[in-house]
Structures are given as structure tokens and as C-alpha cells.
């Protein structure tokens, strides 16, 4: 294999192309909520993925710099709320447009059996318990067992693609 004449350029191209590839990967959006010190914390995530059916489990990739990250510990509960099409304001707020302590003022939230906020009118609300956390680069892969589910009647998920909502 020929070596690259300009490694710096090759690395820059890889970063640009990787970003371009991921912008072409359409995703649903979820709000991941955990209990912080005295108040809940939440973050928007496109990385929520179905992991296994038996046991019912998901994974989510969380930046280690995110406010929620220190609250994600094995055995602790999280609430994962898959957004509906009309909830793009909730996605934007929990994606960083609104200060951490004011995010739960956006959207209608109830309290689940673990005392965590759960989003009304979401496509699905998953009550989860964290199993494993695996650091990888800048992120951590968080594996969580799904313990309870609430579903919306209609299937109308919010989709994020190319930096925009569909």
C-alpha cells in the first residue's frame, strides 16, 4: 500500500469525511436523564441503540465532558425518552441550547418510579438500570437494562440527519 505523501492532510480528510459520513446516518433522538447531585440532569443523544432483546438492553455513547457523565454509574437508573416529531425544541434544549438547570422547563415532564423525569408525549419512555460503562476515546459506551417501557399510540419519531431535523 502506498504511504500518504502528506499525513496531516490525510488525517484532516479522514476527520472531514467521517463527519460527512455520520451526517448521512439518519437517527432518532432521545433524551437521556440521570439523577445528579440534588437535581436531575439530561442530554440529547442520537447514539441510543438497541443492543439485545434478551435481556432487553440498549447502549448509548456519552461524551466524557457531558454534564451527565459523572452521574452514569453501574446500578443507577436512567430514563431514556425517544422524541416525537413535534419535540425538536426539547432536543435543542437538551443538546445544549438551554442551560443545564433550565432544560426541564422545556417540554412536559412527569416523574417515574425511580423519581426520574420522564417526558410526556415522547414516542417511548424507557426506564433503565445501567449495567456496564466502557470508556472509548472521548466517550463512554453505557450499556443499560430496560426495566419498563411506555409507548405512544402513533409512530412519529423525530429524525436527525445532516445537522437538521426532518
Ligand X SMILES: Cc1cc2nc3c(=O)[nH]c(=O)nc-3n(C[C@H](O)[C@H](O)[C@H](O)COP(=O)(O)O)c2cc1C
Which positions touch ligand X (CB under 6 A)? Answer: 29, 43-47, 61-63, 66-67, 91, 94-96, 100, 160
The smaller minimum CB distance to ligand X, of residues 44 and 146, is found at: 44
The smaller minimum CB distance to ligand X, of residues 9 and 86, is found at: 86
Question: d(Cα 94, Cα 121) in Å, to the nearest integer?
Answer: 16
Question: d(Cα 32, Cα 61) in Å, to the nearest integer?
Answer: 11
For 27-60, letters b (16+ CB in 10 Å) and e give: bbbbbbbbbeeeebbbbbbbbbeebeeeebbbbb
CB of 56 to ligand X, least distance (A): 20
CB of 70 to ligand X, least distance (A): 11
The smaller minimum CB distance to ligand X, of residues 48 and 146, is found at: 48
Amino acid at each position: 500500500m502506498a504511504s500518504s505523501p502528506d499525513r496531516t492532510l490525510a488525517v484532516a480528510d479522514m476527520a472531514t469525511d467521517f463527519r460527512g459520513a455520520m451526517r448521512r446516518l439518519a437517527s432518532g433522538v432521545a433524551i437521556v436523564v440521570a439523577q445528579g447531585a440534588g437535581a436531575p440532569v439530561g442530554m440529547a443523544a442520537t447514539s441510543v441503540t438497541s443492543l439485545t432483546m434478551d435481556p432487553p438492553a440498549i447502549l448509548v455513547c456519552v461524551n466524557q465532558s457531558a454534564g451527565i457523565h459523572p452521574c452514569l454509574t453501574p446500578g443507577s437508573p436512567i430514563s431514556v425518552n425517544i422524541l416525537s416529531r413535534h419535540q425538536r425544541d426539547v432536543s435543542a434544549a437538551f443538546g445544549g441550547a438551554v442551560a443545564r438547570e433550565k432544560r426541564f422547563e422545556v417540554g412536559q415532564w412527569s416523574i417515574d418510579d425511580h423519581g426520574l423525569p420522564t417526558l410526556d408525549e415522547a414516542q417511548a419512555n424507557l426506564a433503565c438500570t445501567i449495567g456496564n460503562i466502557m470508556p472509548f476515546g472521548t466517550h463512554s459506551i453505557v450499556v443499560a437494562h430496560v426495566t419498563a417501557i411506555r409507548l405512544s399510540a402513533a409512530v412519529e419519531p423525530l429524525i436527525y440527519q445532516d445537522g437538521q431535523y426532518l
